[in-house]
Structure 1
Amino acid sequence: MKRLTNDRIWSSIDALAHRYGLSVSGLAKRSGLDPTAFNKSKRATGDGRPRWPTTESIAKVLDATGATLDDFATLASSDPGAARRNVPIPLIGLTKAGAGGFFDDGGYPVGDGWEQVQFPRVDDENAYALEVTGESMESLYREGDILIVSPNAPTQNDDRVVIRTTDGKVMARLLVRRTTNTIELASLNPDHPNFVFPLDRVEWIARIIWASQ
Protein backbone atom coordinates (compact mmCIF):
# COMPACT_ATOMS: atom_id res chain seq x y z
CA MET A 1 0.00 0.00 0.00
CA LYS A 2 1.17 3.53 -0.75
CA ARG A 3 2.22 5.73 2.15
CA LEU A 4 -0.81 7.37 3.79
CA THR A 5 0.17 11.01 3.51
CA ASN A 6 -1.84 13.92 4.82
CA ASP A 7 -3.09 14.73 1.30
CA ARG A 8 -4.21 11.15 0.72
CA ILE A 9 -6.13 10.98 4.00
CA TRP A 10 -8.01 14.17 3.16
CA SER A 11 -8.59 12.95 -0.39
CA SER A 12 -10.14 9.80 1.03
CA ILE A 13 -12.61 11.93 2.99
CA ASP A 14 -13.36 13.87 -0.22
CA ALA A 15 -13.91 10.59 -2.06
CA LEU A 16 -16.31 9.26 0.58
CA ALA A 17 -18.34 12.47 0.39
CA HIS A 18 -18.45 12.16 -3.40
CA ARG A 19 -19.44 8.49 -3.23
CA TYR A 20 -22.48 9.29 -1.09
CA GLY A 21 -23.52 12.40 -3.03
CA LEU A 22 -22.48 14.85 -0.32
CA SER A 23 -20.30 17.91 -0.03
CA VAL A 24 -17.61 17.54 2.63
CA SER A 25 -19.69 19.91 4.77
CA GLY A 26 -22.67 17.62 4.31
CA LEU A 27 -20.54 14.60 5.23
CA ALA A 28 -19.35 16.33 8.39
CA LYS A 29 -22.92 17.21 9.41
CA ARG A 30 -24.15 13.66 8.74
CA SER A 31 -21.31 12.40 10.92
CA GLY A 32 -22.32 14.63 13.82
CA LEU A 33 -19.33 16.95 13.39
CA ASP A 34 -19.02 20.68 12.91
CA PRO A 35 -20.01 21.43 9.26
CA THR A 36 -16.66 23.13 8.69
CA ALA A 37 -14.60 20.26 10.13
CA PHE A 38 -13.41 19.05 6.71
CA ASN A 39 -13.15 22.40 4.91
CA LYS A 40 -9.91 23.25 3.11
CA SER A 41 -9.19 25.93 5.72
CA LYS A 42 -9.12 23.24 8.44
CA ARG A 43 -6.53 21.08 6.66
CA ALA A 44 -3.53 23.17 7.65
CA THR A 45 -2.52 25.26 10.63
CA GLY A 46 -2.17 29.02 10.48
CA ASP A 47 1.53 28.68 9.73
CA GLY A 48 0.92 26.21 6.89
CA ARG A 49 1.70 22.91 8.63
CA PRO A 50 -0.55 19.98 7.62
CA ARG A 51 -3.37 19.23 10.04
CA TRP A 52 -4.60 15.63 10.24
CA PRO A 53 -8.23 14.58 10.78
CA THR A 54 -8.67 12.88 14.14
CA THR A 55 -9.23 9.15 14.39
CA GLU A 56 -12.51 9.94 16.17
CA SER A 57 -13.76 12.02 13.21
CA ILE A 58 -12.78 9.28 10.74
CA ALA A 59 -14.61 6.70 12.87
CA LYS A 60 -17.73 8.90 12.87
CA VAL A 61 -17.54 9.26 9.08
CA LEU A 62 -17.30 5.49 8.62
CA ASP A 63 -20.23 4.96 10.98
CA ALA A 64 -22.37 7.59 9.21
CA THR A 65 -21.69 6.28 5.70
CA GLY A 66 -21.45 2.56 6.37
CA ALA A 67 -18.04 2.46 4.72
CA THR A 68 -15.44 0.09 6.15
CA LEU A 69 -11.91 0.85 7.25
CA ASP A 70 -10.71 -1.15 4.23
CA ASP A 71 -12.78 1.15 1.98
CA PHE A 72 -11.15 4.16 3.56
CA ALA A 73 -7.66 2.73 3.24
CA THR A 74 -8.24 1.85 -0.42
CA LEU A 75 -9.41 5.36 -1.20
CA ALA A 76 -6.48 6.85 0.71
CA SER A 77 -4.02 4.82 -1.36
CA SER A 78 -5.51 5.90 -4.71
CA ASP A 79 -4.92 8.99 -6.84
CA PRO A 80 -5.38 12.02 -4.51
CA GLY A 81 -7.00 14.05 -7.26
CA ALA A 82 -9.57 11.47 -8.27
CA ALA A 83 -12.20 12.60 -5.78
CA ARG A 84 -12.20 16.10 -7.21
CA ARG A 85 -12.78 15.30 -10.86
CA ASN A 86 -16.55 15.17 -10.60
CA VAL A 87 -18.24 16.71 -7.60
CA PRO A 88 -21.99 16.90 -6.94
CA ILE A 89 -22.94 20.56 -6.50
CA PRO A 90 -26.30 21.66 -4.99
CA LEU A 91 -28.49 23.24 -7.68
CA ILE A 92 -31.54 25.48 -7.52
CA GLY A 93 -33.28 27.95 -9.81
CA LEU A 94 -32.20 31.55 -9.28
CA THR A 95 -35.75 32.85 -8.87
CA LYS A 96 -36.51 30.13 -6.32
CA ALA A 97 -33.36 30.91 -4.32
CA GLY A 98 -34.97 33.95 -2.73
CA ALA A 99 -37.49 31.80 -0.90
CA GLY A 100 -36.69 30.96 2.69
CA GLY A 101 -34.86 27.85 3.80
CA PHE A 102 -32.24 27.46 1.08
CA PHE A 103 -29.38 29.45 2.66
CA ASP A 104 -28.10 30.01 6.17
CA ASP A 105 -27.16 33.45 7.48
CA GLY A 106 -23.67 33.17 5.98
CA GLY A 107 -24.89 32.39 2.46
CA TYR A 108 -24.16 28.65 2.57
CA PRO A 109 -26.64 26.23 0.96
CA VAL A 110 -28.83 24.32 3.43
CA GLY A 111 -32.05 22.32 3.40
CA ASP A 112 -33.41 19.50 1.29
CA GLY A 113 -34.91 21.42 -1.63
CA TRP A 114 -31.81 21.36 -3.79
CA GLU A 115 -31.17 19.22 -6.85
CA GLN A 116 -27.62 18.32 -7.91
CA VAL A 117 -25.35 18.92 -10.88
CA GLN A 118 -21.95 17.32 -11.48
CA PHE A 119 -19.08 19.75 -11.85
CA PRO A 120 -15.29 19.20 -11.89
CA ARG A 121 -12.48 20.84 -9.94
CA VAL A 122 -14.34 22.93 -7.36
CA ASP A 123 -12.08 24.08 -4.53
CA ASP A 124 -14.90 25.38 -2.32
CA GLU A 125 -16.80 22.64 -0.46
CA ASN A 126 -19.72 25.05 -0.01
CA ALA A 127 -20.03 25.90 -3.72
CA TYR A 128 -23.48 25.67 -5.25
CA ALA A 129 -25.16 26.17 -8.63
CA LEU A 130 -27.95 28.53 -9.68
CA GLU A 131 -29.95 27.99 -12.86
CA VAL A 132 -30.83 31.19 -14.69
CA THR A 133 -34.56 31.68 -15.25
CA GLY A 134 -36.22 34.43 -17.25
CA GLU A 135 -34.63 37.11 -19.41
CA SER A 136 -33.46 39.67 -16.83
CA MET A 137 -29.76 38.79 -17.27
CA GLU A 138 -29.60 38.72 -21.08
CA SER A 139 -27.46 39.17 -23.04
CA LEU A 140 -24.75 37.93 -20.65
CA TYR A 141 -26.66 34.96 -19.21
CA ARG A 142 -29.63 33.26 -20.80
CA GLU A 143 -32.39 31.09 -19.39
CA GLY A 144 -31.05 27.65 -18.55
CA ASP A 145 -27.43 28.77 -18.00
CA ILE A 146 -25.83 27.36 -14.84
CA LEU A 147 -23.86 29.66 -12.53
CA ILE A 148 -21.38 28.10 -10.11
CA VAL A 149 -21.11 30.24 -6.98
CA SER A 150 -18.40 30.15 -4.31
CA PRO A 151 -19.45 31.67 -0.96
CA ASN A 152 -15.88 31.39 0.35
CA ALA A 153 -14.16 33.14 -2.57
CA PRO A 154 -13.05 36.75 -1.95
CA THR A 155 -14.86 39.41 -3.99
CA GLN A 156 -13.52 42.56 -5.59
CA ASN A 157 -14.64 45.24 -8.03
CA ASP A 158 -15.69 43.94 -11.47
CA ASP A 159 -16.48 40.45 -10.13
CA ARG A 160 -19.77 38.86 -11.11
CA VAL A 161 -21.53 38.09 -7.86
CA VAL A 162 -24.71 36.79 -6.29
CA ILE A 163 -26.15 38.96 -3.55
CA ARG A 164 -28.95 38.45 -1.05
CA THR A 165 -30.61 41.46 0.53
CA THR A 166 -32.19 41.55 3.97
CA ASP A 167 -35.66 41.48 2.39
CA GLY A 168 -34.87 38.09 0.85
CA LYS A 169 -34.07 39.03 -2.75
CA VAL A 170 -31.32 36.96 -4.43
CA MET A 171 -29.85 38.43 -7.61
CA ALA A 172 -26.82 38.11 -9.88
CA ARG A 173 -25.01 41.39 -10.54
CA LEU A 174 -21.63 42.94 -11.37
CA LEU A 175 -19.86 44.37 -8.32
CA VAL A 176 -18.93 47.95 -9.24
CA ARG A 177 -17.57 49.23 -5.96
CA ARG A 178 -17.95 48.95 -2.21
CA THR A 179 -17.47 51.74 0.31
CA THR A 180 -17.67 51.74 4.09
CA ASN A 181 -21.42 52.38 3.89
CA THR A 182 -22.71 51.30 0.48
CA ILE A 183 -22.32 48.78 -2.31
CA GLU A 184 -22.91 49.55 -5.99
CA LEU A 185 -23.99 46.82 -8.36
CA ALA A 186 -24.45 46.92 -12.13
CA SER A 187 -27.15 44.85 -13.77
CA LEU A 188 -25.95 42.13 -16.11
CA ASN A 189 -28.61 43.40 -18.50
CA PRO A 190 -27.58 46.81 -19.93
CA ASP A 191 -31.25 47.82 -20.11
CA HIS A 192 -31.46 47.76 -16.31
CA PRO A 193 -30.03 50.53 -14.10
CA ASN A 194 -27.30 50.18 -11.48
CA PHE A 195 -28.26 49.59 -7.87
CA VAL A 196 -26.73 51.24 -4.81
CA PHE A 197 -27.54 49.57 -1.47
CA PRO A 198 -26.65 50.55 2.09
CA LEU A 199 -24.37 47.78 3.37
CA ASP A 200 -26.79 47.04 6.19
CA ARG A 201 -29.28 45.87 3.53
CA VAL A 202 -26.85 43.23 2.27
CA GLU A 203 -27.18 39.87 4.01
CA TRP A 204 -24.37 38.18 2.06
CA ILE A 205 -22.48 38.35 -1.21
CA ALA A 206 -20.73 35.50 -3.10
CA ARG A 207 -18.64 35.34 -6.26
CA ILE A 208 -19.72 33.60 -9.47
CA ILE A 209 -16.70 31.51 -10.42
CA TRP A 210 -18.03 29.84 -13.60
CA ALA A 211 -21.02 29.93 -15.94
CA SER A 212 -22.11 27.33 -18.47
CA GLN A 213 -23.10 29.77 -21.24
Structure 2
Amino acid sequence: MDARERLAELVQEKGGSLAGLSRMLGRNPSYLQQYITKHSPRKLEEDDRRKLASYFGVAEAELGAPKEKSYDANQEWVDVPRLAVDASAGPGAANSAESPFDSFRFSRKWLREQGLEPGQLSAIRVVGDSMEPLLREGDDLLVDKSDRPFRDGIFVVRLDENLLVKRLTSQGGGRFSLLSQNLSYPPIAVSAEDIELVGRVVWKSGRL
Protein backbone atom coordinates (compact mmCIF):
# COMPACT_ATOMS: atom_id res chain seq x y z
CA MET A 1 0.00 0.00 0.00
CA ASP A 2 1.47 3.37 -0.99
CA ALA A 3 1.52 6.45 1.21
CA ARG A 4 -1.58 8.02 -0.40
CA GLU A 5 -3.69 4.89 0.06
CA ARG A 6 -2.46 4.53 3.64
CA LEU A 7 -3.35 8.15 4.48
CA ALA A 8 -6.85 7.74 3.02
CA GLU A 9 -7.26 4.54 5.03
CA LEU A 10 -6.16 6.23 8.27
CA VAL A 11 -8.58 9.10 7.75
CA GLN A 12 -11.43 6.63 7.20
CA GLU A 13 -10.45 4.59 10.28
CA LYS A 14 -10.04 7.54 12.64
CA GLY A 15 -12.77 9.80 11.29
CA GLY A 16 -12.33 13.48 10.54
CA SER A 17 -11.74 14.99 7.13
CA LEU A 18 -8.89 15.71 4.74
CA ALA A 19 -9.82 19.39 4.85
CA GLY A 20 -9.60 19.43 8.64
CA LEU A 21 -6.24 17.68 8.61
CA SER A 22 -4.98 20.12 5.97
CA ARG A 23 -5.95 23.03 8.21
CA MET A 24 -4.21 21.28 11.12
CA LEU A 25 -1.03 21.39 9.02
CA GLY A 26 -1.57 25.08 8.31
CA ARG A 27 -2.33 24.34 4.67
CA ASN A 28 -5.08 25.11 2.19
CA PRO A 29 -8.14 22.89 2.94
CA SER A 30 -7.71 21.10 -0.40
CA TYR A 31 -4.02 20.27 0.21
CA LEU A 32 -4.36 16.62 1.24
CA GLN A 33 -7.25 15.94 -1.15
CA GLN A 34 -5.05 17.07 -4.04
CA TYR A 35 -2.13 15.05 -2.67
CA ILE A 36 -4.22 11.86 -2.67
CA THR A 37 -6.25 12.29 -5.84
CA LYS A 38 -4.05 14.45 -8.08
CA HIS A 39 -0.59 13.48 -6.77
CA SER A 40 0.13 17.14 -6.13
CA PRO A 41 2.39 17.54 -4.27
CA ARG A 42 4.27 14.43 -5.35
CA LYS A 43 5.19 13.69 -1.75
CA LEU A 44 4.44 15.18 1.65
CA GLU A 45 6.77 17.74 3.14
CA GLU A 46 8.83 16.22 5.95
CA ASP A 47 7.24 18.39 8.64
CA ASP A 48 3.72 17.63 7.39
CA ARG A 49 4.49 13.91 7.28
CA ARG A 50 5.86 13.98 10.83
CA LYS A 51 2.78 15.78 12.18
CA LEU A 52 0.42 13.35 10.45
CA ALA A 53 2.36 10.31 11.69
CA SER A 54 2.25 11.67 15.24
CA TYR A 55 -1.47 12.48 14.92
CA PHE A 56 -2.36 8.98 13.73
CA GLY A 57 0.21 7.21 15.92
CA VAL A 58 1.90 5.41 13.02
CA ALA A 59 5.41 5.19 11.65
CA GLU A 60 6.40 7.91 9.20
CA ALA A 61 7.43 5.17 6.78
CA GLU A 62 3.73 4.38 6.30
CA LEU A 63 3.31 7.89 4.92
CA GLY A 64 6.28 7.78 2.60
CA ALA A 65 9.33 8.52 4.78
CA PRO A 66 12.63 6.69 4.34
CA LYS A 67 12.92 4.16 7.16
CA GLU A 68 16.00 5.83 8.59
CA LYS A 69 13.96 9.02 9.13
CA SER A 70 10.79 7.29 10.22
CA TYR A 71 8.90 8.23 13.35
CA ASP A 72 8.55 5.04 15.41
CA ALA A 73 4.99 4.49 16.60
CA ASN A 74 6.41 2.58 19.56
CA GLN A 75 8.79 5.32 20.65
CA GLU A 76 8.73 6.42 24.28
CA TRP A 77 7.26 9.89 23.77
CA VAL A 78 4.27 11.30 21.89
CA ASP A 79 3.85 14.92 20.75
CA VAL A 80 0.24 16.06 21.16
CA PRO A 81 -0.60 19.18 19.12
CA ARG A 82 -1.58 22.39 20.90
CA LEU A 83 -4.30 23.99 18.81
CA ALA A 84 -4.63 27.72 18.30
CA VAL A 85 -8.12 27.77 19.79
CA ASP A 86 -9.57 28.66 23.19
CA ALA A 87 -12.30 26.85 25.12
CA SER A 88 -14.29 29.47 26.96
CA ALA A 89 -14.98 29.01 30.66
CA GLY A 90 -17.37 31.92 30.39
CA PRO A 91 -20.03 33.21 27.99
CA GLY A 92 -18.44 31.53 24.96
CA ALA A 93 -15.71 32.14 22.45
CA ALA A 94 -16.03 31.74 18.71
CA ASN A 95 -13.18 29.88 17.01
CA SER A 96 -12.55 29.59 13.31
CA ALA A 97 -8.97 28.28 13.06
CA GLU A 98 -7.84 25.02 14.59
CA SER A 99 -4.20 24.90 13.56
CA PRO A 100 -1.41 23.54 15.78
CA PHE A 101 1.21 26.04 16.88
CA ASP A 102 3.11 23.92 19.39
CA SER A 103 2.90 20.56 21.15
CA PHE A 104 2.98 18.86 24.53
CA ARG A 105 5.13 15.77 24.93
CA PHE A 106 3.58 12.88 26.85
CA SER A 107 4.89 9.48 27.86
CA ARG A 108 3.43 6.85 25.51
CA LYS A 109 3.33 4.45 28.46
CA TRP A 110 1.29 6.93 30.52
CA LEU A 111 -1.17 7.51 27.69
CA ARG A 112 -1.57 3.77 27.26
CA GLU A 113 -2.18 3.36 31.01
CA GLN A 114 -4.91 6.01 30.77
CA GLY A 115 -6.51 4.24 27.81
CA LEU A 116 -5.79 7.18 25.51
CA GLU A 117 -4.95 7.01 21.80
CA PRO A 118 -2.35 9.60 20.69
CA GLY A 119 -4.11 10.29 17.40
CA GLN A 120 -7.32 11.25 19.20
CA LEU A 121 -5.75 13.88 21.47
CA SER A 122 -5.22 17.61 21.20
CA ALA A 123 -4.55 20.43 23.66
CA ILE A 124 -6.39 23.75 23.90
CA ARG A 125 -6.33 26.70 26.29
CA VAL A 126 -8.95 27.87 28.79
CA VAL A 127 -10.22 31.45 28.78
CA GLY A 128 -12.65 32.91 31.32
CA ASP A 129 -13.47 32.14 34.94
CA SER A 130 -16.66 30.06 34.93
CA MET A 131 -14.81 26.83 35.77
CA GLU A 132 -12.77 28.24 38.65
CA PRO A 133 -11.31 26.94 40.86
CA LEU A 134 -11.11 23.65 38.91
CA LEU A 135 -9.91 25.27 35.67
CA ARG A 136 -8.36 28.73 35.47
CA GLU A 137 -7.76 31.06 32.57
CA GLY A 138 -4.54 30.08 30.82
CA ASP A 139 -4.73 26.40 31.77
CA ASP A 140 -4.06 23.97 28.93
CA LEU A 141 -6.46 21.05 28.55
CA LEU A 142 -5.79 17.63 27.05
CA VAL A 143 -8.92 16.73 25.11
CA ASP A 144 -9.78 13.15 24.13
CA LYS A 145 -11.83 13.11 20.93
CA SER A 146 -12.38 9.34 20.93
CA ASP A 147 -15.88 8.03 20.32
CA ARG A 148 -16.73 6.53 23.72
CA PRO A 149 -19.95 5.79 25.62
CA PHE A 150 -21.12 8.96 27.34
CA ARG A 151 -20.66 9.51 31.06
CA ASP A 152 -20.87 12.73 33.04
CA GLY A 153 -17.64 14.72 33.13
CA ILE A 154 -15.77 17.80 31.93
CA PHE A 155 -16.16 18.30 28.18
CA VAL A 156 -15.29 20.77 25.47
CA VAL A 157 -18.50 21.35 23.52
CA ARG A 158 -19.55 23.53 20.61
CA LEU A 159 -22.78 25.46 21.18
CA ASP A 160 -24.02 28.05 18.66
CA GLU A 161 -20.55 28.18 17.04
CA ASN A 162 -18.99 28.89 20.45
CA LEU A 163 -16.49 26.57 22.09
CA LEU A 164 -17.16 25.98 25.80
CA VAL A 165 -15.59 23.89 28.54
CA LYS A 166 -18.20 22.77 31.07
CA ARG A 167 -19.24 19.91 33.28
CA LEU A 168 -21.75 17.99 31.17
CA THR A 169 -24.44 15.92 32.89
CA SER A 170 -27.27 13.91 31.35
CA GLN A 171 -30.82 14.71 32.43
CA GLY A 172 -32.32 11.85 30.41
CA GLY A 173 -34.49 12.00 27.34
CA GLY A 174 -31.75 13.56 25.25
CA ARG A 175 -31.44 16.55 27.58
CA PHE A 176 -28.20 17.76 29.15
CA SER A 177 -27.02 20.41 31.58
CA LEU A 178 -23.85 22.45 31.09
CA LEU A 179 -22.61 23.27 34.58
CA SER A 180 -19.98 25.77 35.71
CA GLN A 181 -17.81 25.37 38.81
CA ASN A 182 -18.15 29.09 39.51
CA LEU A 183 -21.65 29.44 41.03
CA SER A 184 -21.97 32.94 39.56
CA TYR A 185 -22.80 31.22 36.26
CA PRO A 186 -26.20 29.50 36.01
CA PRO A 187 -26.62 26.05 34.43
CA ILE A 188 -27.38 25.89 30.71
CA ALA A 189 -30.07 23.41 29.62
CA VAL A 190 -29.55 21.95 26.15
CA SER A 191 -30.72 19.06 24.01
CA ALA A 192 -28.44 16.62 22.22
CA GLU A 193 -29.19 18.42 18.94
CA ASP A 194 -28.01 21.74 20.34
CA ILE A 195 -24.41 20.75 21.07
CA GLU A 196 -21.45 19.04 19.48
CA LEU A 197 -19.21 17.08 21.83
CA VAL A 198 -15.68 18.00 20.76
CA GLY A 199 -14.04 15.82 23.40
CA ARG A 200 -13.65 14.90 27.03
CA VAL A 201 -11.10 16.76 29.16
CA VAL A 202 -8.71 14.17 30.60
CA TRP A 203 -5.82 16.29 31.90
CA LYS A 204 -4.92 19.90 32.57
CA SER A 205 -1.78 21.93 33.08
CA GLY A 206 -1.59 25.27 34.79
CA ARG A 207 0.61 27.60 36.81
CA LEU A 208 0.48 27.52 40.60
TM-score by length of 2: 0.57
Query: What's 1:22 paired with?
Result: none
Query: What's 1:132 paired with?
Result: 126
Shift of 1:155: 5.2
Tell me which moved more, 149-158 or 131-140.
149-158
Query: What's 1:164 paired with?
Result: 158
Higher strand share: 2
- The DSSP-based 3-state class of the residue aligned with 1:177 is strand
How many Å separate the matches in 1 of 2:95 and 2:4? 23
Query: What's 2:79 paired with?
Result: 87
**From 187, 199, 208, the counterpart of 1:206:** 199
Please list every run of 5 or more consecutive structure 1 residues that lacks an aligned counterpart in the other structure: 1-26, 41-56, 103-109
Query: What's 2:8 paired with?
Result: 33
AA of the residue aligned to 1:186:
L
How many Å separate the matches in 1 of 2:127 and 2:42? 39
Contact 1:164 1:171 in 2 (8 A): yes
AA of the residue aligned to 1:36:
V
How many Å separate the matches in 2 of 1:161 and 1:131? 13
Contact 1:154 1:207 in 2 (8 A): no
Write out aligned runs for 1:40-189 (5 A). Answer: 63-65=43-45, 72-74=66-68, 80-82=73-75, 85-91=77-83, 92-95=85-88, 98-102=93-97, 110=98, 112=99, 114-120=100-106, 121=108, 123-154=117-148, 156-165=150-159, 167-189=160-182
How many Å separate the matches in 2 of 1:136 and 1:28? 44
CA RMSD of aligned residues (A): 3.9
Contact 1:162 1:206 in 2 (8 A): yes
Identity among equivalent pairs (%): 19
Cα distance change of structure 1 residues 39 and 72 upon mapping to structure 2, 3 Å threshold: farther
Contact 2:81 2:122 in 1 (8 A): yes
Please list every run of 5 or more consecutive structure 2 residues that lacks an aligned counterpart in the other structure: 16-35, 50-59, 112-116
**From 180, 190, 199, the counterpart of 1:197:** 190
Measured against aligned partners, the alpha-carbon deviations of 1:11-53 in whole angstroms (never above 9, x if no partner) come to: xxxxxxxxxxxxxxxx979x9736615749xxxxxxxxxxxxx
Cα distance change of structure 1 residues 209 and 28 upon mapping to structure 2, 3 Å threshold: farther
Shift of 1:87: 0.8
- The DSSP-based 3-state class of the residue aligned with 1:160 is strand
Contact 2:179 2:188 in 1 (8 A): yes
Cα distance change of structure 1 residues 62 and 197 upon mapping to structure 2, 3 Å threshold: same
TM-score by length of 1: 0.56
